[in-house]
């Protein structure tokens, strides 16, 4: 094989699309390796340092034999090596890169600033920042290009201090930085407006603010520092505006909760790309408007055929399905993701696991997790699966998944333990949970945080060990947050400890003054023991603060369409049938042992809600609607915005028995699988 064309080819291919027709056949081996999306940067980092490295690079020796002739024929050619490193950049081929590097060293090729920059780019993109830094340190006559590549590396790895340090060092050498430097330096000012403003000033002084990339980076910087008006000012003053400048501003307004401004900007855009659409979709999701997110996704698919959804788009729309428990929608998007070749993207797969779990289909969630290639299973993927099991009350599976994760050498983090501990508490695995809690620092190097304490308070509390739970709160090394007191309050409700409940509620009224749920819970406890004066006091407090009890709301998806019910709702077209069904229900299930729990009827907060008697609870309406509109054997999946009430829980158990149905209810904090008269929570929720 002649080598010069190969070098030319490699360098050309690294920059632009190349006409494939003239390539030697063997080169297709090289061509088949896609450039990795940038996120692999971060993950490659941890993957490469784990022991399973060798599985990543099965192609190395054959690839190396392709690259070798170039090196052999031009042993001292800096440009040959530069072309090869350039090609390897972004392809996650660390070992091959190291082989080339070794050959280079053997042939006594000393890298200059140009070659050094290419090497740094290769190492940084393959997850080996340390080597990139070493190379940088050894180059004697650094150039702007060299500085840019190390700044890029540091900034993408998320080391703001290092980036700024190198940038300062560069300045002290008299190198100003160019339009390639500033986007990366600005990325590091995300939470430091002061620094951002300094860099902004410098870029103005050297006349870079007219650069599109620098301009957009400045907008993004101000957005990330929470100074949206500053960002908008910059946007207005920009001479050359790009789609990305609009996108950055739209995303900023969405993050700031100013949806209308974002919508207006989006409407005013002359041209939109996939990022504009994705910004809208994820913006809606972030602001809790899942339905709108799904609508925008559909609209994009209908109206804008130019635009092609990518993995970020899919990842942004799946949480919207999860949020609204739209299982059918989620399945469709899953199919679509497979069609456009995103089926083996870890991030998409992880989003799928979460979506299926949150839509109540633990089976499909697990199937998706299984399909994630062993080596690609990163921290987030494991966390998602552990949390999925936890929310479905499969504590033992949470634990065994956690142990698998440890076995394959993935280091757990704080979220892993919240998942694991909540799994233990949802399943009543008190001792196991306590064991993990007590050894998490020593064995796994994860320091307990507030949310872990909340899980353990919940764990002890559900089991009735209220005094221990309370003691734990007193021993906490940090301030107990709302989640901790909330867990204690819920436990006190379950085990009827009014004294502790009052203490917990008192804290919560201060910590969460807008959460009516705490008032309602305590009021229900007073009512249970007939302390009506206290009930009245709490009602008055609610009223004074202008709050109302959050109305109960449930929905069920049938044939891909969501049907929503409020407590006592009569507005549904089939309301008559539903109420007829519910009227006859108690008599039917009394036959198999149902005893209505009417205690809660008396405790509704406001008078007008008294009419919403037990049979009209929103979850019952949804279940009745489901039974009336599906064929026998179909699984019913109901989602509720609050916790399921005791009577509905009991009734649903009996319904599952006499109708032979599997009914899956997602309430605010967990899943209940009803089947054959039993619930997966074991009445432990």
Min CB(213)–DNA separation in Å? 4
Query: Which of 286, 411, 629, 630 is the binder for DNA (CB under 7 A)?
Result: 286
Closer to DNA by CB, 471 or 669: give it.
669
Min CB(247)–DNA separation in Å? 4
Classify 674 as helix, strand or coil: strand
User: Using CB under 7 A, which of the segments 17-25, 382-390, 397-405, 559-567 binds DNA?
Assistant: 382-390
Closer to DNA by CB, 512 or 609: give it.
512
Return the residues of window 182-201 that contact DNA according to CB under 7 A. Answer: 183-184, 187
Task: Report how far Cα 62 is from the mean position of its chain's Cα atoms.
Answer: 38
Q: Does 316 bind DNA (CB under 7 A)?
A: yes
Burial category of 427 from C-beta neighbours within 10 Å (exposed 0-12, middle 13-18, buried 19 and up): buried
Closer to DNA by CB, 245 or 639: give it.
245
User: Using CB under 7 A, which of the segments 296-304, 306-314, 613-621, 632-640 binds DNA?
Assistant: 306-314
Q: Does 629 bind DNA (CB under 7 A)?
A: no
Query: Which of 432, 472, 508, 638 is the binder for DNA (CB under 7 A)?
Result: 508
User: What is the DSSP secondary-structure string of 223-265?
Assistant: HHTT-HHHHHHHHHH-SS--HHHHHHHHHHHHHTT-HHHHHHH
Classify 415 as helix, strand or coil: helix
Instruction: Please report how the helices 482-495 and 466-475 are oriented relative to each other, as an axis angle in degrees rounded to 10.
Output: 160
d(CA 257, CA 572): 32
Q: Which residues contact 529 (CB under 8 A, 6 or more apart)?
A: 498
Q: Which residues contact 11 (CB under 8 A, 6 or more apart)?
A: 82, 83, 86, 87
Closer to DNA by CB, 252 or 567: give it.
252
Instruction: Please report how the helices 274-286 and 259-268 are oriented relative to each other, as an axis angle in degrees rounded to 10.
Output: 160
Return the residues of window 441-460 that contact DNA according to CB under 7 A. Answer: 450-451, 454-455, 458
Q: Does 381 bind DNA (CB under 7 A)?
A: yes
Min CB(574)–DNA separation in Å? 33
Virtual torsion, Cα 45, 46, 51, 57, nearest 10 deg: -40
Closer to DNA by CB, 450 or 547: give it.
450
Return the residues of window 648-677 that contact DNA according to CB under 7 A. Answer: 669-670
d(CA 221, CA 190): 6
Q: Does 79 bind DNA (CB under 7 A)?
A: no
User: What is the DSSP secondary-structure string of 443-488?
Assistant: HH-----HHHHHHHHHHHHHTT-HHHHHHHHHH-SS---HHHHHHH
Min CB(331)–DNA separation in Å? 17
User: Using CB under 7 A, which of the segments 418-426, 434-442, 603-611, 626-634 binds DNA?
Assistant: 418-426
Print the binding letters for residues 217-256 with DNA: x by CB under 7 A, - otherwise: x--x--x------------------xxxx-xx--x-----
User: What would the two tokens of residue 293 be?
Assistant: 């997110």
Return the residues of window 474-493 that contact DNA according to CB under 7 A. Answer: 482-483, 485-487, 490-491
Query: Which of 79, 414, 574, 630 is the binder for DNA (CB under 7 A)?
Result: 414
Q: Which residues contact 642 (CB under 8 A, 6 or more apart)?
A: 517, 550, 552, 553, 667, 668
Closer to DNA by CB, 453 or 625: give it.
453
Classify 360 as helix, strand or coil: coil
Q: Does 422 bind DNA (CB under 7 A)?
A: yes
Largest CA distance in the chain: 94
Closer to DNA by CB, 478 or 602: give it.
478
Return the residues of window 15-44 that contact DNA according to CB under 7 A. Answer: 37-39, 42-43
Q: Which of 555, 551, 553, 521 is nearest to 538 (CA)?
A: 521
Return the residues of window 145-174 that contact DNA according to CB under 7 A. Answer: 152
Task: Report how far Cα 264 is from the mean position of its chain's Cα atoms.
Answer: 27
Q: Does 515 bind DNA (CB under 7 A)?
A: yes
d(CA 174, CA 660): 79
Q: What is the DSSP letter of 666?
A: E
Q: Does 509 bind DNA (CB under 7 A)?
A: no
Min CB(524)–DNA separation in Å? 15
Return the residues of window 528-567 that contact DNA according to CB under 7 A. Answer: none
Q: Does 203 bind DNA (CB under 7 A)?
A: no
Query: Which of 99, 518, 618, 680 is the binder for DNA (CB under 7 A)?
Result: 518
Query: Which of 273, 375, 516, 574 is the binder for DNA (CB under 7 A)?
Result: 273
d(CA 214, CA 224): 15
User: What would the two tokens of residue 101 be?
Assistant: 């590097």
Closer to DNA by CB, 76 or 340: give it.
340
User: Using CB under 7 A, which of the segments 77-85, 269-277, 434-442, 468-476 binds DNA?
Assistant: 269-277
Min CB(516)–DNA separation in Å? 12
Q: Does 216 bind DNA (CB under 7 A)?
A: yes
d(CA 89, CA 35): 8
Q: Which residues contact 48 (CB under 8 A, 6 or more apart)?
A: 56, 94, 126, 127, 128
Closer to DNA by CB, 80 or 149: give it.
149
Query: Which of 12, 23, 212, 601 is the binder for DNA (CB under 7 A)?
Result: 212
Q: Which of 211, 221, 196, 263 is nearest to 242 (CA)?
A: 211
Closer to DNA by CB, 67 or 153: give it.
153
Return the residues of window 321-380 that contact DNA according to CB under 7 A. Answer: 322, 346-347, 349-351, 354, 378-380
Query: Which of 177, 419, 428, 448 is the binder for DNA (CB under 7 A)?
Result: 419
Instruction: Please report, for residues 172, 185, 217, 325, 609, the alpha-carbon distance to residue 151 in angstroms, rounded to integers and kept in the order given.
Output: 15, 7, 15, 43, 62
How many residues make contact with DNA (CB under 7 A)? 78
């Amino acid at each position: 094989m002649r080598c010069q064309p190969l070098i030319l080819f490699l360098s050309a291919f690294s920059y632009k699309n190349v006409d494939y027709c003239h390539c030697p056949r063997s080169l297709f081996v090289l061509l088949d390796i896609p450039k990795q999306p940038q996120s692999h940067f971060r993950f490659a980092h941890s993957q490469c340092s784990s022991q399973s490295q060798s599985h990543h690079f099965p192609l190395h020796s054959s690839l190396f034999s392709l690259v070798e002739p170039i090196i052999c024929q031009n042993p001292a050619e800096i440009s040959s090596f530069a072309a090869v490193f350039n090609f390897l950049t972004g392809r996650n081929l660390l070992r091959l890169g190291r082989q080339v590097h070794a050959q280079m060293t053997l042939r006594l090729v000393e890298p200059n600033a140009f070659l050094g920059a290419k090497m740094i780019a290769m190492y940084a993109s393959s997850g080996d920042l340390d080597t990139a830094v070493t190379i940088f340190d050894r180059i004697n006559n650094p150039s702007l290009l060299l500085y840019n590549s190390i700044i890029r590396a540091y900034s993408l790895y998320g080391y703001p201090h290092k980036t700024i340090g190198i940038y300062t060092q560069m300045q002290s050498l008299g190198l100003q930085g160019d339009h390639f430097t500033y986007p990366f330096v600005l990325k590091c000012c995300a939470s430091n407006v002061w620094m951002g403003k300094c860099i902004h000033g410098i870029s103005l002084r050297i006349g870079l603010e007219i650069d599109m990339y620098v301009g957009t980076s400045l907008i993004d910087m101000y957005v990330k520092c929470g100074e949206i008006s500053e960002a908008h000012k910059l946007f207005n003053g920009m001479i050359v505006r790009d789609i990305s400048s609009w996108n950055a501003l739209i995303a900023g307004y969405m993050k700031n909760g100013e949806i209308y401004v974002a919508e207006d900007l989006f409407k005013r855009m002359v041209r939109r790309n996939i990022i504009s659409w994705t910004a809208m979709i994820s913006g809606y999701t972030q602001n809790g408007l899942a339905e709108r997110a799904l609508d925008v996704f559909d609209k994009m698919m209908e109206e804008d055929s130019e635009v092609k959804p990518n993995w970020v788009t899919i990842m942004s729309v799946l949480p919207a399905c999860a949020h609204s428990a739209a299982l059918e929608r989620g399945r469709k998007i899953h199919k679509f993701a497979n069609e456009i070749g995103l089926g083996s993207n870890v991030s998409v797969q992880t989003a799928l696991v979460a979506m299926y779990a949150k839509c109540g289909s633990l089976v499909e969630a697990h199937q998706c997790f299984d399909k994630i290639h062993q080596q690609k299973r990163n921290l987030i993927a494991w966390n998602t699966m552990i949390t999925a099991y936890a929310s479905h009350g499969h504590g033992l599976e949470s634990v065994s998944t956690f142990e698998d994760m440890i076995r394959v050498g993935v280091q757990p983090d704080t979220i892993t333990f919240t998942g694991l501990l909540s799994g233990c508490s949802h399943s009543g695995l008190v001792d196991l949970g306590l064991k993990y809690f007590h050894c998490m620092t020593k064995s796994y190097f994860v320091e307990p945080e507030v949310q872990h304490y909340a899980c353990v308070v919940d764990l002890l509390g559900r089991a009735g060990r209220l005094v221990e739970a309370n003691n734990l709160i007193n021993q906490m090394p940090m301030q107990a947050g709302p989640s901790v007191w909330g867990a204690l309050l819920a436990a006190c409700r379950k085990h009827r400890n009014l004294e502790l409940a009052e203490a917990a509620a008192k804290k919560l009224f201060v910590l969460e003054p807008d959460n009516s749920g705490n008032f309602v819970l305590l009021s229900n406890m007073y009512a249970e023991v007939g302390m009506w004066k206290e009930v009245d006091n709490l009602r008055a407090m609610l009223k004074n603060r202008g709050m109302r009890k959050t109305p109960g709301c449930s929905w069920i998806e049938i044939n891909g369409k969501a049907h929503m019910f409020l407590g006592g709702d009569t507005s549904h077209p089939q309301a008559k049938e539903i109420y007829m069904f519910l009227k006859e229900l108690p008599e039917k299930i009394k036959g198999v042992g149902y005893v209505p729990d009417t205690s809660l009827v008396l405790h509704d907060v406001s008078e007008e809600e008294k009419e919403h008697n037990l049979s009209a609870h929103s979850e019952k309406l949804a279940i009745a609607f489901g039974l009336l509109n599906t064929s026998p054997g179909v699984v019913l999946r109901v989602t509720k915005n609050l916790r399921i009430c005791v009577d509905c829980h009991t009734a649903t158990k009996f319904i599952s028995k006499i109708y032979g149905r599997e009914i899956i209810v997602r309430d605010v904090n967990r899943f209940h699988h009803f089947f054959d008269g039993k619930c997966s929570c074991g009445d432990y929720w």
